[in-house]
Amino acid sequence: MTTMARRIAGTGSFYSAVVLLVLFAAFPFYWMLITTFKQDGDLYNLQSIPYWFNESPTMEHIDYLFTDTLFLRWLGNSALIGVCVVAITLVVSLPAGYSLARMPGRAAENLGIGIFLTYLVPPTLLFLPLSRVISLLGLQDSLWSLVLVYPTFTIPFCTWLLMGFFKSVPREIDEAAIVDGCTMVGAFVKTILPLSLPAILTVIIFAFTLTMQEFVYALTFISSSDQKPITLGVATDLVRGDVYYWGELMGAALISSIPVAIAYNLFLDRFISGITGGAVKG
């Protein structure tokens, strides 16, 4: 083989590998997309090639979703839960992360790691006792139960993320503010917070997406359709008996996936450095 031919073959196999990888990752989403806009006759037809429209695309599944199901309500529920959880997470994690970043000595570090480790405690371990706690609080079958419980995984992760960020802010800045006439709270609010806007934005996005992805607690705590968040509502309520309405299902999954997917992609690097905690540099 000549060098030229070898190079072409090399490039060719490289691109084939990339294409295969992307296909494996993204095909289910393409499948969601095409299913959403196919007519039923086209969907349930074994004769034609399924990868493309054999009849004209239709909006009927989307229309049905918005007019005849609680889809909008679920979207609203998810948004409401997300906003509340983000608020709780910020109120709790910002001071905690700051305190951990500034506290002297080994104790603070251990405490920080301890809080981070609770991120590893899975819903599967806690859904049984927590559902009991929820009913004791009279929150069973209400979306507020999720607002209460979701911070158990957003707080550990976000506190850890913020702690790392605050550590990168020189201590001199808060000390300067304290000498310049601020209380400790004042120094935090007037100098550290404005400097931390990028980190705060990251925390908002992640708390929100983590909330959007949760399924187990929602499944355990909530059975009334009008209280369900989007993930639960779509997965359980769009199925009548044994009949799956694939057009509507895929449309709903697609619409609710898009914002999360975009947010994740934008903040991916911060998320990774949060999880690995700079493990490589050490």
CB of 63 to another protein, least distance (A): 20
Binding positions for another protein, 52-81, rule CB under 8 A: none
What whole-number distance in Å separates Cα of residue 184 and Cα of residue 169?
A: 15
Placement of tokens 């983000």 in the chain: 86
Strand pairing report for 243-244 and 239-240: antiparallel
Nearest-CA neighbor of 88 among 147, 159, 145?
147
Q: Would you count residue 178 as binding another protein (CB under 8 A)?
A: yes
* Using rule CB under 8 A, residue 250 touches another protein: yes
**Total chain residues near another protein (CB under 8 A):** 112
Q: Which of 69, 77, 93, 202 binds another protein (CB under 8 A)?
A: 93
Asked if 194 is part of the footprint of another protein (rule: CB under 8 A), the reply reads yes
> By CB under 8 A, which span of 53-61, 64-72, 120-128, 138-146 interacts with another protein?
120-128
Question: For residues 52 and 34, is the Cβ–Cβ distance under 8 A?
Answer: yes
Interacting span for another protein (CB under 8 A) from 60-68, 69-77, 184-192, 199-207: 184-192
Q: Does 7 bind another protein (CB under 8 A)?
A: no
Residue in the structure block whose two tokens are 């980190």: 199
How far apart are CB 241 and another protein at their closest, in Å? 14
**Are the beta carbons of 117 and 159 closer than 8 angstroms?**
no
Q: Which residue has the tokens 């371990």?
A: 125
**Does 9 contact another protein by CB under 8 A?**
no
Q: With binding defined as CB under 8 A, does residue 269 bind another protein?
A: yes
**Near another protein by CB under 8 A, which window of 20-28, 52-60, 66-74, 200-208?**
20-28
**Which tokens hold the place of 155?**
């707080």
Is 239 strand, coil or helix? strand
Secondary structure of residue 266 in the 3-state scheme: helix
Contact 132, 70 (CB under 8 A): no
Residues 153-172 contacting another protein, CB under 8 A: 155-156, 159, 170, 172
Contacting another protein within 220-239 (CB under 8 A): 220, 230-232, 234-235
Exposure on the CB side of residue 165, measured as CA atoms within 13 A: 28
Distance of closest approach, residue 28 Cβ to another protein, in angstroms: 4
